């Protein structure tokens, strides 16, 4: 309800102290949901799901649909009609590649180069 949100906002006027922000960011990093993009820790990427979690979702879809030993382009996985109702549909290419790299480390997939870009073969 809006009233609850208003009470919370009114209870916290102004900005969070820098120390509090750093504590929150460090917790996100420890949990694998934040990655610093520079050495000075001024830019960061917050991830809804870690790459391994996205990889697990993708691989569950592969297994559910009997698609082991199949090859897909990155576009087909992220934007194809077959994945339209999946949580990973629309995932940006950088995170998709990280998810596939996690699957590759588990020997469940191999990232390959195709004529029109990159793809992946699932095992």
C-alpha 102/C-alpha 15 separation (Å) is 37
Q: Which domains does the chain have, with CATH numbers?
A: 13-48 (1.10.10.570), 51-122 (1.10.10.10)
pLDDT in tens, 65-113: 999 999 999 999 999 999 999 999 999 999 999 999 999 999 999 999 9
In degrees and rounded to multiples of 5, residue 53 shows phi and psi of -70, -40
pLDDT digits (tens, 9 = 90+) for 77-88: 999 999 999 999
With the CA atoms of 38, 43, 44 and 45 taken in that order, what torsion angle do they form, in degrees rounded to the nearest 10?
-110
Report the alpha-carbon distance of residue 38 to residue 17 in Å, rounded.
22
Query: d(Cα 43, Cα 19) in Å, to the nearest integer?
Result: 16
């Amino acid at each position: 309800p809006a009233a609850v949100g208003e009470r919370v906002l009114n209870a916290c006027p102004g900005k969070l102290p820098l120390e509090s922000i750093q504590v929150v960011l460090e917790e996100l990093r420890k949990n694998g949901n934040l990655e610093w993009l520079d050495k000075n820790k001024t830019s960061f990427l917050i991830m809804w799901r870690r790459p391994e979690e996205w990889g697990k979702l993708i691989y569950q879809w592969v297994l559910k649909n009997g698609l082991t030993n199949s090859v897909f382009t990155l576009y087909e996985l992220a934007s194809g009609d077959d994945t339209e109702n999946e949580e990973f549909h629309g995932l940006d290419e950088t995170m998709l590649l990280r998810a596939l790299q996690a699957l590759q480390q588990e020997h469940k997939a191999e990232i390959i180069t195709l004529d029109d870009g990159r793809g992946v073969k699932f095992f």
